[in-house]
A = this chain, B = another copy of it.
Amino acid sequence: MQFELTKEFIDQIRDHIEKSNEVGAFKLVKGLHPADIAEIYDELSIDEARFIHVMLDAEDAAEVLVELEEEDRERFLKVLPTEDIADFIEKLDSDDAADVIGEFPEEKQEEVLSHIDDLEQAGDIVDLLNYDEDSAGGLMAKELITVNENWNIMTCLKEMRKQAEDVDEIYYVYVIDDNEVLKGTLSLKKLLVTASNRKIANIINTDIILVKTDTPSEEVANIMDKYDLVALPVVDALNRLVGRITIDDIVDVIREEAERDYQLVSGITQDVESSDSAWVHTRARIPWLFIGLFGGIIAALVMGVYEVDLGINPNMVFFIPLIAAMGGNVGVQSSSIIVQALASNSMGFESMGRKLFKELGVATINGIILSTVIFAYNYFFSDSFALTITVSAALFSVIVFASIFGTYVPMFLDKLKIDPALATGPFITTVNDIMGLFIYLMIGRAFFTFF
């Protein structure tokens, strides 16, 4: 049964470490999955974690490093001599190795690479370091099993056995021609059920889904998700097979993307975990708060312009929070729907004009319903008809404005190749707060003269 980390476990291991009881501590972590050990490190100090780390076998120790958060890994590796780091790196798959080395400054990268004895692996890592982190090239690993299209199944199985040593898991076998151009895939299932004297060409699946090295990682994720793939071959500009991406890395991409969008809509500027220090939290949160503060000052200035009107109709003030809040809520709703559609590639073929037109429809329905409710409320509970009609008209206008604005801005940013998620959360709320206020005060000035 799998391991579950408990507070007692951490207390126990800490106790062993404090007493320098290596045997006791090792007994606790022996046989655990590297991902579990990484979770334990998360709860320990660097020194405590290092006490455990030196006892692990080299393979596990390397895997644990991959599982750590980037920041923890950095602190962990900082004190190690480059020879030791190179030893860890050699134990890793090429994609993980490149990720870890890629986090070092360039000088240290070269130093570590120079200590890697397996020249083929060092070459693979250097190749991988050339690709953009957020592209298929940056996600792929070099370890894969390839067979030549001219072989028969027997040769193929023999060759696969040889290559399998270097590969963790085999999902597909890739078939290439003499120029390394990808021709198709073999499923292990087909290999299992086919007689071994037949040619590969007979059982090859040529209907392959593949990506180029420069395909953005978001697109890679969408493709693997859409076609339910476990591994995806990556080819270069000449269609030569250069690597494969496995689904576990894509699950991470999907999680990270979702987390980033979630953080932007909630006004957090960087990856922050509940367990990070207060200082990290402050740094992640204060930028958007400054924007909110700035927006609040502008709102104060706008109200200053309408000071006289507010003096004449002081009750107008009561509904300022309502108008501002509704503008903010409606704007966030509209923008986040667009951001989600863009992220999941489900915008369809409606033109921007049509989308805005539909949004206008939604806003009109919502606006009519909500402004009718507030009209009824004020009709019964307020003694100023001018106020009643001002609040309703302003609420309707704010809802329509915020919807259209919230829909348009992310689409516009996307056209400019800027991350549309920037237009969610505090940005849209702040703009809509100010615009809502402005609309309200303007309508108020007009209506109070008429009624």
> What number of A residues sit within 8 Å (CB to CB) of B?
123
Residue from B227, B228, B267, B330 within 8 A of A333 (CB atoms)? B267
Q: Which B residues touch A251, using CB under 8 A?
A: 224-225, 247, 250-251, 254
Q: Which B residues touch A349, using CB under 8 A?
A: 7, 10, 43
Shortest Cβ distance from A16 into chain B, in angstroms? 17
Q: Which B residues touch A250, using CB under 8 A?
A: 251
Q: Which B residues touch A379, using CB under 8 A?
A: none
Bound Cα distance from A209 to B36, whole angstroms: 12
A296-334 vs B: 1/0 string, CB under 8 Å?
110110011001001100100111111111101110110
Q: Which B residues touch A332, using CB under 8 A?
A: 266-267, 425
Any B CB within 8 A of the CB of A451 = no
Q: Which B residues touch A296, using CB under 8 A?
A: 319, 321-323, 325-326, 374
Bound Cα distance from A290 to B318, whole angstroms: 18
4 closest residue pairs by CB, A with B: A296-B322, A258-B258, A266-B336, A274-B341
Any B CB within 8 A of the CB of A448 = no
A257-275 vs B: 1/0 string, CB under 8 Å?
0110111011110001111
Any B CB within 8 A of the CB of A243 = no
Of all chain B residues, the one with the shortest Cβ separation from A160 is: B192
Q: Which B residues touch A171, using CB under 8 A?
A: 171, 230
Within 8 A of B (CB), among A269-284: 272-275, 278-279, 281-282
Any B CB within 8 A of the CB of A426 = yes
Q: Which B residues touch A369, using CB under 8 A?
A: 286
Any B CB within 8 A of the CB of A118 = no
Q: Which B residues touch A285, using CB under 8 A?
A: 330, 333, 362, 366
Q: Which B residues touch A255, using CB under 8 A?
A: 225, 254, 258, 344
Bound Cα distance from A335 to B274, whole angstroms: 10
Any B CB within 8 A of the CB of A73 = no
Q: 17 A-B residue contacts at CB 8 Å? A: A2-B227, A35-B228, A167-B189, A171-B230, A188-B188, A225-B251, A258-B259, A259-B340, A263-B336, A286-B366, A289-B326, A295-B325, A296-B321, A299-B318, A321-B437, A324-B325, A325-B328
Binding site for B on A (CB under 8 A): 1-2, 7, 10, 31, 33, 35, 42-43, 157, 160-161, 164-165, 167-171, 187-189, 192-193, 207, 209-210, 223-230, 247-248, 250-252, 254-255, 258-259, 261-263, 265-268, 272-275, 278-279, 281-282, 285-286, 288-290, 292-293, 295-297, 299-300, 303-304, 307, 310-311, 314, 317-326, 328-330, 332-333, 335-338, 340-341, 344, 346-350, 355, 358, 361-362, 365-366, 369-370, 373-374, 377, 424-426, 429-430, 433-434, 437
